[in-house]
Structure 1
């Protein structure tokens, strides 16, 4: 049985929606989409005139931050502007008369790299990083590594997308990169 047919049988056996979509050119790995917040991001939140509420908050696994007075605020899947609006709405509901909130990402969630690199694992995200930069952070390629492309997995608002990308492709926080073994 060839590999493509075996993969088709494997996908057919899974429940609908249980597997990631796969693209050879990765059209859903767009960089033009705004950055959305997710678990692991740390946010610097400033509530003007309310120093006791201004702080750095980490988004938990359920996509929420816990703030004094207003409790948990769901911010996962929102942009920083959307998160500011959600916090302002909760504060306006009986706590602060005219809240003005600014939200910025203090620390991005890490990226992950696996496969034919010297040190696989989780690494802090660096702005402007590409797949090649991620490989350098992970200690470089092993002798058997395919050096011209990588498999990239990214969570998008439409679901998990997996695709092959060139080594110069920009990465985002939370991406998982797999460096494949080359065939001689």
Structure 2
């Protein structure tokens, strides 16, 4: 009886939107993402494609530079709506959407290392497949490690042997093949020492 009551309460909260969190609200924008901004009925305020640069800002008519790095689509949409409301428009209808996600990167012992366009639901295994798979002579000993976009700086000056040793020490970042990755992540495929 108690578990049934709890389930009813949870369903009520979800239907009321209290626990509602869509994927677009969880995703945080960053350099390399391409977004569109549509203000319905206002062609001069509509931007079909805007790439976010390393400064994580965009220049928007009437509002100037807007810092959008680390913000969700909804937060950017709300900011633009409230900025335009009153002085420029009575009730602006704004929609901000992802046109193209930032790349994921697959480095190391794969046949075609490099940057690949992110797709929602992309796993470590699928990302390695995009890069042509693991080189045949390393298939038995290769391990994959995932670093988030915020962590890549600390590994960028290491050669492949140093990288493998560093990853062996830090097993927390070893990636499971079916682990879902995010835009901006880097998958490092290195030969295991063991």
Separation in 2 of the partners of 1:146 and 1:135? 15
CA contact (8 A) 1:146 1:182 kept: no
Structure 1 residue 71: Cα displacement: 1.9
1:14-163 to structure 2, matched below 5 A, reads: 34-55=26-47, 56-92=49-85, 94-142=87-135, 143-145=137-139, 149-155=143-149, 160=151, 163=173
Q: Deviations over 1:132-151 (max 9, x none)?
A: 11111111111214677521
For structure 1, the 5+ residue unaligned runs are 1-30
Q: Normalising by the residue count of structure 2, what TM-score does the alignment of the two structures yield?
A: 0.69
Secondary structure of 2:70 counterpart: coil
Change (3 A) 1:72 1:93: farther
2:174 is aligned with 1:164? yes
Structure 1 residue 110: Cα displacement: 0.4
| More displaced stretch, 129-138 vs 59-68 | 59-68
Separation in 2 of the partners of 1:65 and 1:54? 13
Structure 1 residue 114: Cα displacement: 0.7
Alignment root-mean-square deviation, CA? 2.3
CA contact (8 A) 1:109 1:174 kept: yes
Structure 1 residue 116: Cα displacement: 1.0
Q: Normalising by the residue count of structure 1, what TM-score does the alignment of the two structures yield?
A: 0.73
Structure 1 residue 62: Cα displacement: 1.2
Which structure has more relative contact order (CA 8 Å, sep 6+)? It is 1
Q: Relative to total residues, which structure has the larger helix share, 1 or 2? A: 2
Q: Relative to total residues, which structure has the larger strand share, 1 or 2? A: 1
Q: How many residues align?
A: 150
Change (3 A) 1:115 1:177: same
Structure 1 residue 99: Cα displacement: 1.6
Which residue of structure 2 lines up, in the alignment, with residue 175 of structure 1?
185
